[in-house]
Amino acid sequence: MNTDFRVASLPVASIAELDRLGDEIAELSAHLDAATAHLLDLIRDFDARGGWGNGFRSCAAWLTWRIGLDPGAARERVRVARALGTLPRLAQALARGELSYAKVRALSRVATPETEERLLGVGRAGTAEHVERIVRAWRRVDRNAEAAEAAMLHKSRALHVYQDEDGMMVVRGRLDREAGAVLIQALAAARERLYRQTGNVSAETFPADVSMEPPTMAQQQADALGLIAETALHHGMDPGSPGERYQVVVHVDAAVLEDPDASGQSALEPGAHVSAETSRRLGCDASRVVMRHDPDGRVVEVGALTRTIPAALRRVLHYRDRGCRFPGCGLPFGQGHHIQHWANGGPTTLSNLALLCRRHHRAVHEEGYQVERLPDGELRFRRPDGKLLPDAPSPATVPADPIHALRMQHDAQELHIHARTAMPNWLGERLNVGYAIDVLHPLAAG
């Protein structure tokens, strides 16, 4: 059987026009990659200086709120920005439009200052697919080396917990691989629950501080451990013991609840002092018992245990707010916050309540953030300096011809970008990943 293949031919003018169009696509893509390098520099500086610490859980959360990135994409931008701070060759290649952001993003997962030069060669020689395959193989070698090292540490496991002189609990220990893996996963899950946006995440609420200084990883780990302990007790790790045994009790004078500047008692039951605003925050959504004392401090009357927010009202509050109402947060769990505190005459009604995660509940009480309900029912938040914190920021100003502006900016920087700037020097040969890793990875021979 004869088969007749016919290929339609294009006029020479059409071929030339398509070539020109393809060159323009390639050139503009390189310009965008160069601009992305500058964007990552700005993100790295903003992240390091804590510019996102005005109530947001992380730099990625701020990017999600401020410029509309998907949470996963925002976290990846921050990761790559941080990595490029120690990888100047990859950063420079991106800034010149010589490597695409996709290649740099993949290479930054495994590159170190010692291996950066050889991995830069991989990026220049191959396609984005080649780079991804080599990076995956590279990471397998790294994991094997890490597993061998972890096996040597098994016998050093120990855990020490004691109270320091200032009342803080000190935890110090070393766990074996199995227990350590469980703890790491639990800490990661709790940390993500506290500090990151939900959705496609597995970050970010119980942090010890929400101030202009962002919480460090060590502080986030401490908050996560507290959440793990609370969750374990809440789910009945010791079902034979009364639930009241595990409650955290705060003793606070009524005058202190009404006015944080008033003198009086505000302390945890063991005697550790806490601020008046901390007591007001805890009192926003917790059971309470009113006790009266005589002049000598002896209890003369004890009222009945009362719950600040009834269960039915709490369900309606969660249904209405659908998560933390603090701008840019939205975590689906939280505490009921009295906009006007009940100690100051604020009613426990739906209109006087707002759902806040623990992080932002602390921000409103202890860190100077303000929230009020407008006549139309909407909430308005302000930063400690009084500036409005909107749910959605105003869009950035964009030039009338952004492509021309971008090209002019790069010309001023003497960046010579053209259609072949980012083209790899791959000639079509088949990629041998095993051979490439043997040649490139410093641990492959072992």
User: Which pLDDT tens digit goes with each residue over 396-428?
Assistant: 776 788 788 888 888 888 888 887 888 887 877
Contact 321, 354 (CB under 8 A): yes
- Tell me: pLDDT of 439 over 90: no
User: Which pLDDT tens digit goes with each residue over 9-48?
Assistant: 667 668 888 888 888 898 899 899 999 999 999 999 999 9
CA distance 120 to 93: 8
Instruction: Please give the pLDDT value at position 315.
Output: 87
Instruction: Please give the pLDDT value at position 209.
Output: 44
Task: Say which residue, 419 or 98, is predicted with more confidence.
Answer: 98
Mean pLDDT, residues 108-116 taken together: 93
Domain range summary for the chain, segments of one domain joined by +: 12-150+422-440, 155-243, 246-307, 311-389
Give the CA distances from residue 13 to residues 10, 16, 68, 296, 419, in Å, rounded to whole numbers and listed in that order. Answer: 8, 5, 42, 101, 20
- Tell me: pLDDT of 4 over 70: no
User: Which pLDDT tens digit goes with each residue over 381-396?
Assistant: 998 888 888 887 777 7
- Tell me: pLDDT of 308 over 80: no
The b-or-e profile of 390-420 (16+ CB within 10 A means b, else e) is eeeeeeeeeeeeeeeebbeebeeeebebebe
- Tell me: pLDDT of 294 over 90: no
Q: Find which of 51-55, 69-73, 78-82, 437-441 is predicted with most confidence, using mean pLDDT.
A: 78-82
